[in-house]
């Protein structure tokens, strides 16, 4: 077996195990699963799990990084469909809100990981990078809109991006914890419109 084939198998097995870990953690929670649970979900031996991941924490960190990468890839793919920063901002907010309905288990897993923030520096760094990534994408869109003359010139881009991400995440957390407290679709549409029309305040070259 050559090195390329060996690497392909390694990546395939790691991907198989992280997907299994995602399913198990979403059902059982951060504290209540075992390596054997992961192995059973993946249809592999516990020995193989230990071969690809040195311990439970290594597996969980890989899972978190994989989740973050998939979310970022999805957002980037959708945003690339438009060249207009106003449309990009609309897409960014819409897709960020839609994640919870398209992949509800994602936030249950993420909430479980948050319980480790005060005890696990590696986990804290992984989650920090996730939010840095959200803010970075949003900031890029806002900067592009300012340069194109569609958004206010005096906008504090870092503050605005942080506020937008906070509004999205805060709404999602409330919905995950108490889904019957408000109409998610209506609220998220109102929040998106408020951000675009009032907080960002479009000032287009055409006077729109």
Query: What is the spatial distance between Cα 58 and Cα 102, in angstroms, rounded to a whole number?
Result: 27
- State what percent of residues in the chain have pLDDT above 90: 29
Q: In 124-136, which positions are buried (b, 16+ CB within 10 angstroms) versus exposed (e)? A: eebbeebeebbbe
- What is the CATH T-level fold of the domain 61-199, as seen in this structure? Tetracycline Repressor; domain 2 (1.10.357)
Choosing among 1.20.140.10, 1.25.40.10, 1.10.10.60, 3.40.50.2300, the CATH entry for 1-53 is 1.10.10.60
Residue 128 confidence (pLDDT) above 50: yes
Question: How many helical (H) and strand (E) elements, i.e. helices and strands, does the chain have?
Answer: 9, 0
Query: What is the spatial distance between Cα 207 and Cα 41, in angstroms, rounded to a whole number?
Result: 57
pLDDT in tens, 11-51: 788 888 888 888 888 888 777 888 899 899 989 888 988 88
Helix 104-114 vs helix 85-102: crossing angle, to nearest 10:
80
Query: Under 8 Å CB-to-CB from 103, ≥6 apart: which residues?
Result: none
Residues spanned by CATH 1.10.10.60 within the chain? 1-53
């Amino acid at each position: 077996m050559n090195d390329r084939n060996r690497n392909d198998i390694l990546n395939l097995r790691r991907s198989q195990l992280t997907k299994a870990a995602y399913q198990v953690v979403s059902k059982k929670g951060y504290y209540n699963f075992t390596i054997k649970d992961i192995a059973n979900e993946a249809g592999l031996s516990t020995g193989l799990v230990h071969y690809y991941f040195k311990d439970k924490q290594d597996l969980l960190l890989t899972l978190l990084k994989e989740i973050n990468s998939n979310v970022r890839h999805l957002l980037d793919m959708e945003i690339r469909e438009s060249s207009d920063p106003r449309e990009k901002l609309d897409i960014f907010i819409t897709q960020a809100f839609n994640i919870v309905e398209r992949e509800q288990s994602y936030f249950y897993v993420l909430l479980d990981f948050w319980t480790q923030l005060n005890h696990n520096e590696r986990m804290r760094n992984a989650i920090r990078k996730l939010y840095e990534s959200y803010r970075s994408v949003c900031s890029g869109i806002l900067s592009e809109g300012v340069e194109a003359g569609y958004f206010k010139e005096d906008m504090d881009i870092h503050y605005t991006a942080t506020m937008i991400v906070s509004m999205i995440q805060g709404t999602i957390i409330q919905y995950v914890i108490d889904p019957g407290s408000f109409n998610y679709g209506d609220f998220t549409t109102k929040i998106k419109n408020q951000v675009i029309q009032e907080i960002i305040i479009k000032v287009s070259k055409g006077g729109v």
